[in-house]
Amino acid sequence: MSNLSTTLPRRLDPAKFRDPAITAKGERRAVVAFGGLRTLWVNTGTLCNITCRNCYIESSPRNDALVYVSAAEVGAALDEAAALRAPLEEVGFTGGEPFLNRDLPVMLRDVMGRGLRALVLTNAMKPMMNHAAALLALREAFGERLTIRVSLDHHEAALHDLERGEGTFAKTMEGLRWLAEGGFQIHVAGRAGFGAGDEAAMRAGYAALFTAHGIAVDAADAVALMLFPEMDAGIDVPEITEACWSILRKSPESMMCASSRMLVKRRGADRPAFTACTLLPHDPGFEVGATLAEAARPVSLNHPHCAKFCVLGGAACSR
Ligand code: SF4
């Protein structure tokens, strides 16, 4: 008989992640200062054409907790970044499924017309294909300034479909092939630790798939094929204290929230707001202001995702 206590992960201690300044053990919690906006993320809205089993942002065809942001609202954020002389390099679009927002091509043209890079996170299914002509025109005008990052949870159809729904692998592969044939710069986002095998085996599996379908993505490149750790805020993780930076040999400047913010628009709100990062769009403790100037405040690492995903997991959401 197996011993369940050795096989099931321990649940999060409810005493942890309560006080933004102090950990459960009474130590000073780690804080990340803002060092200037290099990446602006835009959450285009939480609506999605599919419902994944473990979507960290709970997107679905019905969830509009974050409503569609408009091209004018994104333009205003870009204007403010320019007025603040922010060292902005890239604007990333995430959802939900960003291509469900009809303003996306206009937003992309605005971003790249300002000389910035654009990154779109998509499942490459029908909503993306509905914008095929606009996408080809953008690629023609801006070339490699545009990167499309396609979510493909696993290189095997059955495991991808287990997470995203029957038949989704085939549709996403169709979109990926279309992007490859069209000469787009493509990245792929998969999931580390999903299914059997270590990271090397995962990368080998993706490499074989890309070769078989003529998709020019280097599966050995950690940016071109990003493998994200699993995100479960209910599993126990250590809290990150000020002392952790030197113990772990990590610097606060390397955290996403040191150089990025995300624009979101909550259902019922008059105007958009900024969150500290892409990972915590719904937690009020991580909403940092209505303007980029206000949002330049330090962020206290008071959430399990800060520990698991950023400080300990080694992943980042940009490139
Ligand atoms: S989840 Fe990561 S990026 Fe977001 S606030 Fe925490 S440490 Fe910063």
Q: List the residue whose alpha carbon is closest to atom 8 of ligand 1.
A: 257
User: Residue 307: CB within 6 Å of ligand 1?
Assistant: no
Q: List the residue whose alpha carbon is closest to atom 7 of ligand 1.
A: 306
Model pLDDT for residues 194-214, shown as the tens digit of each residue: 766 789 999 999 999 999 999
User: Residue 257: CB within 6 Å of ligand 1?
Assistant: yes
Structure token digits, residue 3: 């011993």
Full set of structural domains in the chain with CATH: 36-311 (3.20.20.70)
3-state secondary structure of 32: strand
- Side chain identity at residue 148, one-letter code: I
| Ranges 139-143, 171-175, 195-199, 241-245: which has the least confidence | 195-199
Sign of CA dihedral 294, 284, 275, 253: positive
- Side chain identity at residue 165, one-letter code: G
DSSP strand pairing (273-275 vs 287-289): antiparallel
Distance of CA 129 from the midpoint of ligand 1 (Å): 32
Report the residue count for the chain. Answer: 319
Beta bridge partners of 282: none
**In angstroms, rounded to a whole number, what is the distance separating the alpha carbons of residues 190 and 89?**
24
Structure token digits, residue 287: 């909403």
Mean of all residue pLDDT scores within the chain: 92
Query: Could you identify the atom of ligand 1 that is nearest to the CA of residue 317?
Result: 3
Model pLDDT for residues 81-99, shown as the tens digit of each residue: 999 999 999 999 999 999 9
> What is the secondary structure of 223-278 as a DSSP string?
TTEEEEPP--TTB--PPPBTTHHHHHT--GGGSGGGTEEEEE-BTT-SS-EEESSS
Q: List the residue whose alpha carbon is closest to atom 6 of ligand 1.
A: 306
Among residues of the chain, what percentage have pLDDT more than 90? 78
Q: Give the Cβ contact number of residue 177 at 10 Å.
A: 14
Model pLDDT for residues 117-147, shown as the tens digit of each residue: 999 999 999 999 999 999 999 999 999 999 9
Instruction: Report the Cα 143 to chain-centroid distance in Å.
Output: 22
Cis, peptide link before residue 36, omega less than 30° from 0:
no
User: Residue 280: CB within 6 Å of ligand 1?
Assistant: yes
Query: Could you identify the atom of ligand 1 that is nearest to the CA of residue 310?
Result: 2
Confidence of residue 57 (pLDDT cuts 50, 70, 90): confident
The set of residues, in sequence order, having a beta carbon less than 8 Å from that of 313 and lying 6+ positions away, is 229
**In angstroms, rounded to a whole number, what is the distance separating the alpha carbons of residues 319 and 317?**
7
Phi (first) and psi of residue 312, to 5 degrees: -100, -30
CA-only gyration radius of the chain, Å? 20
Q: List the residue whose alpha carbon is closest to atom 2 of ligand 1.
A: 306
**In angstroms, rounded to a whole number, what is the distance separating the alpha carbons of residues 119 and 237?**
31
Query: Could you identify the atom of ligand 1 that is nearest to the CA of residue 277?
Result: 4
Q: List the residue whose alpha carbon is closest to atom 1 of ligand 1.
A: 306
In angstroms, the Cα distances linking 192 to 61, 139, 153, 202, 244 are: 26, 30, 9, 8, 24
Nearest C-alpha neighbor of 245 from the set 53, 48, 27? 27
Pick from 37, 242, 310, 317 the residue to mutate for probing ligand 1's pocket: most ligand atoms within 8 Å of its CB. Answer: 310
**Residues 119, 91: contact at Cβ < 8 Å?**
yes
3-state secondary structure of 309: helix
Structure token digits, residue 142: 């801006």
First-to-last alpha carbon distance for the chain, in angstroms, is 46
3-state secondary structure of 186: strand
Confidence of residue 228 (pLDDT cuts 50, 70, 90): confident
User: Residue 279: CB within 6 Å of ligand 1?
Assistant: yes
Is residue 9 over pLDDT 80? no
Distance of CA 279 from the midpoint of ligand 1 (Å): 7
